[in-house]
Amino acid sequence: MTHTESRTQRDRMVFAADQLSKRFDECVALDQVTCSVPRGRVVGLIGRNGSGKTTLLRCLQGLAAPTAGRATTFGVDGMALVDADLARIGVVHQANRFVPWMSGRSHLDFVRSFYERWDRERERRLVDAFELDLRQRIGSMSPGSVQKLAILTATCHHPEAILLDEPAAALDPPSREALYATLFDLLREDEPAIIISSHQLDDIERSVDWILCLERGRVVRDEALDALQERYARWRVLPLPDGSPDGALKGNLREPWIKSAIVEDRGALLVVEDAETKREAFESRHGVTVDSQPLRLAEMFKVWMDERPSDDRPRRDAVAAPKGSQR
Amino acid sequence: MLITLERNSGVPVFRQICDQVRFQVAAGVLSGGMEIPSTRDLGERLGVNPMTVSKAYALLEQEGVLERRPGLSLVVRSGVRGGVRSAVGGTERGSRSRPDAETTRELRHEELERLLRPAAIAARQLGVPAKDALEVFRKVLRAPEADNHERGVDR
């Protein structure tokens, strides 16, 4: 029933980038990015400042032309999207430039006139959920209120493709909850593809099913959050009561799947990838017991940032553990 | 169905749903033939993508905890089943002829085993011998008699 239905829809790609590169003069904003997002998926786009998140979102909606490669939405090149395509896309920009003398009400009335499928019921619901005062002029609204207005502007026309560039940056916690609840409503009603960029990794972890992580314009991770959560772990390693003389672990942790290590004389804290497949062998080789705990997205993110090639950033070895040795 | 999610626990949401449904089936809170909420309804209630719920349901169906009635929604599978771990581990236990009570008991033991595994790791890390650990568990159960021990923690 709905099961098979959504399965066929899952194959329908909404956003795609293929070897997408974007250069601004000397600066490489995107470097051969390849990724795709089908309907019904919520992608958390994460990365440090200047990693290329906004540029990727802009290429997908045709606000920036690729230097090389392609960026498509509904299979159409971003730069070739026509009005009918754009009417199926909803966007929250990082900085919203709305007309300052308009009230929230007249802004929404104005925007609505462009869309055939504008949903006044959804509009009312969101105004309530966000406790937004539409009588206020945009110029005198708080950044949070403008952001709420932007979210309404981006979602009330039943878009099938939604791009949100740090939509929650100015929102207080209840409004952030309302935003994410809204996204799930949209998913149930229209099954759109959603890309949401954010630095609030805890929020992202609560709300998305997929992680796309960029660093220096390159894709660092493009994977289901579930799969990441099951692969990564934090291990508390303690020696068996009858085994492991002091320091047995030291200098013995060079395996590439050990991502970071704090080793003390009688134990260690490790961050590991492929946790479950490695555990038993590790325990018997080192004569230790492992207590494995899940790793949060924010901690994974740290691992990925440390994985950068050392030639362009030698910081990695400079960070020393307070006690004992680091890797 | 009583489900509560820990959103920043690092444990995948679909797995949290699976574990809690399986536990409630084992505990008899959800009984055979009972209809479970649709993926949309549960998704709405929990504030998660309906696809996450459908992933959890698919896994539970594969494990034999839920079954899809032709033309109907998913229900809790009643009576015999192949054993929860068998679908994952790949060894079919062929318990098709077992009576209800037997499979329920089996499912309960599997759930308890899953929940005790962290305690077992803690015991090893603390260097508490198995015999003493069982003693502690018996104390926790408030069942100091030896015969209760045998019935409760048989292996």
In a domain, B125, yes or no: yes
* A193: Cα within 13 Å, side-chain hemisphere: 21
Provide the CATH number for the domain around residue B22.
Answer: 1.10.10.10
In a domain, B145, yes or no: yes
Residue A264 contacts by C-beta under 8 Å, 6 or more apart in sequence?
Answer: A323, A324
What is the rounded end-to-end Cα distance, in angstroms, of chain A? 52
Same domain for B4 and B74, yes or no, is yes
- Which residues of chain A lie closer than 8 angstroms to B54, CB-CB? 3, 6
Domain A232-326 fold: Alpha-Beta Plaits (3.30.70)
For chain A, the domains span: 2-227, 232-326
CB contact under 8 A, A225 and B12: yes
Interface of B with A (CB under 8 A): 7-15, 38-40, 43-44, 47-52, 54-55, 118, 121-122, 124-125, 127
pLDDT at A309 over 70: no
Domain tally, chain B: 2
Q: Work out the number of other CB atoms within 10 angstroms of the CB of residue B1.
A: 17
CB contact under 8 A, A42 and B49: yes
Same domain for B73 and B123, yes or no, is no
Q: What phi and psi values does residue A112 have, to the nearest 5 degrees?
A: -60, -35
**In angstroms, what is the C-alpha Rg of chain B?**
18
Search chain A and give the residue with CA nearest B118: A291
pLDDT at B87 over 70: no
In a domain, B86, yes or no: no
Search chain A and give the residue with CA nearest B40: A188
CB contact under 8 A, B15 and A294: no
Same domain for B69 and B102, yes or no, is no
Task: Please give the structure tokens belonging to residue A306.
Answer: 């440390």
Rounded Cα distance between A181 and A176, Å, is 9
Rounded Cα distance between A26 and A61, Å, is 23
The pLDDT score that the predictor gives to residue A291 is 93
Looking at the DSSP bridge assignments, the partners of residue A163 are: A91, A195
Strongest mean pLDDT among A122-136, A311-325, B130-144: A122-136
Residue with tokens 């950044």: A143
Q: Chain A: give the shortest CA distance to residue B7, in Å.
A: 5
Q: Work out the number of other CB atoms within 10 angstroms of the CB of residue B126.
A: 12
Question: Which member of A180, A230, A236 has the closest CB to residue B12?
Answer: A230
Residue A247's pLDDT band (cuts 50, 70, 90) = low
In a domain, B92, yes or no: no
User: Is the model more confident about B92 or about A263?
Assistant: A263
Strongest mean pLDDT among A177-186, A284-293, B73-82, B111-120: B111-120
Amino acid at A113: S
- Which residues of chain A lie closer than 8 angstroms to B47, CB-CB? 180-181, 184
Per-residue pLDDT reduced to its tens digit, A198-210: 999 999 998 899 9
Residue A243's pLDDT band (cuts 50, 70, 90) = low
* A323: Cα within 13 Å, side-chain hemisphere: 7
Q: Chain A: give the shortest CA distance to residue B44, in Å.
A: 7
Identify from A39, A209, A269 which residue to disrupt to test chain B contact, counting B C-beta atoms within 10 A and taking the largest count. A209
The DSSP code for A17 is E
- Which residues of chain A lie closer than 8 angstroms to B44, CB-CB? 184-185, 188
pLDDT at A180 over 60: yes
Q: Which of B69, B49, B63 is nearest to B21 (CA)?
A: B63
Residue with tokens 């540029």: A55
The pLDDT score that the predictor gives to residue B144 is 53
Counting residues of chain A whose pLDDT is more than 90, the rounded percentage is: 68
Q: Which residues of B98-114 are buried (b: 16+ CB within 10 A; e: fewer)?
A: beeeebbebbeeebeee
Domain hosting B28: range is 1-78
Search chain B and give the residue with CA nearest A183: B49
The pLDDT score that the predictor gives to residue A266 is 79
Same domain for B67 and B133, yes or no, is no
CB contacts < 8 A (A, B):
67
The pLDDT score that the predictor gives to residue A274 is 86
Per-residue pLDDT reduced to its tens digit, B27-42: 888 888 889 999 989 9
CATH of A2-227, one of 3.40.50.300, 2.60.40.10, 3.50.50.60, 1.10.150.240: 3.40.50.300
Same domain for B5 and B72, yes or no, is yes
Run of H or E including A5: helix A2-10
The pLDDT score that the predictor gives to residue B118 is 93
Per-residue pLDDT reduced to its tens digit, A268-284: 899 999 888 888 888 88
Identify from A39, A231, A289 which residue to disrupt to test chain B contact, counting B C-beta atoms within 10 A and taking the largest count. A289
Provide the mean pLDDT of chain A.
87
Residue A264's pLDDT band (cuts 50, 70, 90) = confident
Looking at the DSSP bridge assignments, the partners of residue A150 are: none
* B53: Cα within 13 Å, side-chain hemisphere: 25
Search chain B and give the residue with CA nearest A238: B125
The DSSP code for A133 is -
pTM, whole model, 2 decimals?
0.84
Amino acid at A327: R
CB contact under 8 A, B10 and A293: yes
Same domain for B111 and B69, yes or no, is no
The pLDDT score that the predictor gives to residue A252 is 67
The pLDDT score that the predictor gives to residue B92 is 41
Same domain for B74 and B138, yes or no, is no
The pLDDT score that the predictor gives to residue A16 is 97
Kindly state the greatest CA–CA separation across chain B.
Answer: 54
Same domain for B6 and B72, yes or no, is yes
Counting residues of chain B whose pLDDT is more than 70, the rounded percentage is: 77
The pLDDT of A56-84, averaged and rounded, is 96
Q: Which long-range contacts (CB under 8 A, 24 or more apart) does B21-28 make?
A: B21/B56, B21/B60, B21/B65, B21/B66, B22/B60, B22/B63, B22/B65, B22/B84, B22/B107, B22/B111, B23/B111, B25/B65, B25/B76, B25/B107, B26/B104, B26/B107, B26/B108, B26/B110, B26/B111, B27/B108, B27/B111, B28/B104
Same domain for B103 and B72, yes or no, is no
CB contact under 8 A, B121 and A290: yes
Kindly state the greatest CA–CA separation across chain A.
Answer: 76
Question: Which member of A188, A205, A241 has the closest CB to residue B50?
Answer: A188
Same domain for B73 and B1, yes or no, is yes
Cα–Cα separations (whole angstroms), residue A36 to A6, A39, A53, A228: 17, 10, 14, 18
The pLDDT score that the predictor gives to residue A321 is 38
